[in-house]
Amino acid sequence: MKGEAYTIVNTFAGRQYSSTHKCYYIPYSEASLDEVSKALSEVTEIQLLKWDQHTGPEKTSDIPVVSIPLSYSETLIKMRYSNATLENYIVQFKFFLRFIFPKDSENFNEEDIHHYLLYLINEKKVSISTQNQAINSIKFYLEHVKRMDRQTYYVDRPFKEHKLPTVLSEEEIAALLRQVKNIKHKCIVLLLYSAGLRMSELLALQVKDIDTDRGVINVRNGKGKKDRITLLSNTAYRYLQRYYSAFQPKNWIFEGQTGEQYSARSVNNIIKVAAEKAGIKKIISAHTLRHSFATHLLEHGTDIRYIQNLLGHESSKTTERYTHVTKKGFEKLLSPLDAIADKLNFDDDKDI
């Protein structure tokens, strides 16, 4: 289980992991089954099974078998899309082909696309993000695989949601770090927070990327296939030296047991366990530490243009969302309720 699907299951209320059976369990109810099924179906393929005590699992529905042209995945690979994007596009395009079945990829038209988008909105009630992913997967086929001109079809784009990122306070970051005892795990969390790294960037870090002379970390082939540099914290580097001495990584800074790249699942599990021990109630992940890095820099007076470069954002508008969660300047503000508090004559004991 990867990416978004793993995050959905790993943050689902009441979920428990069985190391014996290598699977997750959630408390059964029709509501919880509907909730987790709907969330997973937006990002990956799922098959619901019902269990018959005599015959075992039975399919609850017949799903048409569809075939995606080989040229679809080949074009994604040739254009060097990331594995995550490749998998997502293929899943979303397969969902579309199932909807238009028995038509296939050679025979659908603009009307089919509009019917599908209405189905996603009205019946599947997918998020705006998932709707956009569905559109992108179809557009990719038409424009890059079939090489059709953009003007030959028209698709309405939904308004984008503007959600504020979840941010930890500096006190919560300190509490989180205090709960991470393993030196390898501590270095992972320290680098995510102190350098504002994406998960994929952290996992791709190599020993040669740590430039101690310049005091920077070289992020290679980040989002959008772009290189950049970001901060190398003195504190993080001190722990890295201890980690190097104990583990002696050869290629990736953080390696699995057999020398492969460390897994994203393991990183998020480290953060989840530490957050629970620290009493942090917010739902957080590795990306929360990146949001916190940017917000705390802003609160300490760092120019937003520097933050944009450190994060590797193409547009300053992406970075500007942190201005909506920073508390900088709030210490000079007074709530209007507090301004009239002395006129209220509240008797706290009687109110209780």
DSSP 123-175: II---HHHHHHHHHHHHHIIIIIS---GGG---PPPPPP-PPPP---HHHHHH
- pLDDT for the residue numbered 284: 92
Active-site annotation holds for 287? yes
- pLDDT for the residue numbered 132: 86
Q: Is residue 168 within 8 Å of residue 176, measured between CB atoms?
A: yes
pLDDT value at 239 more than 80: yes
The Cα 89–Cα 130 span in angstroms is 11
- Domain ranges (residues) in the chain: 3-59, 70-152, 170-330
- pLDDT for the residue numbered 172: 96
Place of tokens 């306070």: 169
Active-site annotation holds for 193? no
> Catalytic one among 198, 228, 265, 277?
198
**Entry field: residues in the chain:** 352
The Cα 271–Cα 192 span in angstroms is 11
The Cα 64–Cα 10 span in angstroms is 30
The Cα 311–Cα 258 span in angstroms is 31
Q: What is the mean pLDDT of residues 169-180?
A: 95
> Catalytic one among 146, 223, 265, 321?
223
Selection from 119, 164, 118, 112 nearest residue 142 by Cα: 112
Q: What is the mean pLDDT of residues 39-54?
A: 59
- Which pLDDT band holds residue 188 (cuts at 50, 70, 90)? very high
Q: Which residues contact 41 (CB under 8 A, 6 or more apart)?
A: 124
**Helices in the chain by DSSP H: which ranges?**
3-10, 30-41, 70-78, 83-100, 110-119, 128-140, 170-178, 183-195, 199-203, 234-247, 264-278, 286-299, 304-311, 316-320, 336-339, 348-351
Active-site annotation holds for 290? yes
CATH homologous superfamily of 170-330 equals: Intergrase catalytic core (1.10.443.10)
Active-site annotation holds for 223? yes
Q: Same topology for domains 70-152 and 170-330, yes or no?
A: no
Selection from 92, 184, 183 nearest residue 140 by Cα: 92
What proportion of the chain, given as a percentage, has pLDDT over 90? Answer: 43
Active-site annotation holds for 313? yes
Active-site annotation holds for 300? no
> Catalytic one among 94, 114, 146, 287?
287
- Which pLDDT band holds residue 52 (cuts at 50, 70, 90)? very low
- pLDDT for the residue numbered 1: 47
pLDDT value at 293 more than 70: yes
60 in helix, strand or coil? Answer: coil
- pLDDT for the residue numbered 336: 76
pLDDT value at 54 more than 50: no
> Catalytic one among 6, 193, 262, 322?
322
Average pLDDT of the chain is 83
The Cα 139–Cα 119 span in angstroms is 18
> Catalytic one among 186, 290, 291, 296?
290
- Which pLDDT band holds residue 260 (cuts at 50, 70, 90)? confident
Structure tokens that stand for 51 in this block: 């269990």
Nearest 5 degrees, angle CA 291-CA 206-CA 166?
10
Pick the CATH number of 70-152 from 1.10.1660.10, 1.10.150.130, 3.90.870.10, 3.30.420.10: 1.10.150.130
Place of tokens 């897994």: 263
The Cα 120–Cα 116 span in angstroms is 6
- pLDDT for the residue numbered 55: 41
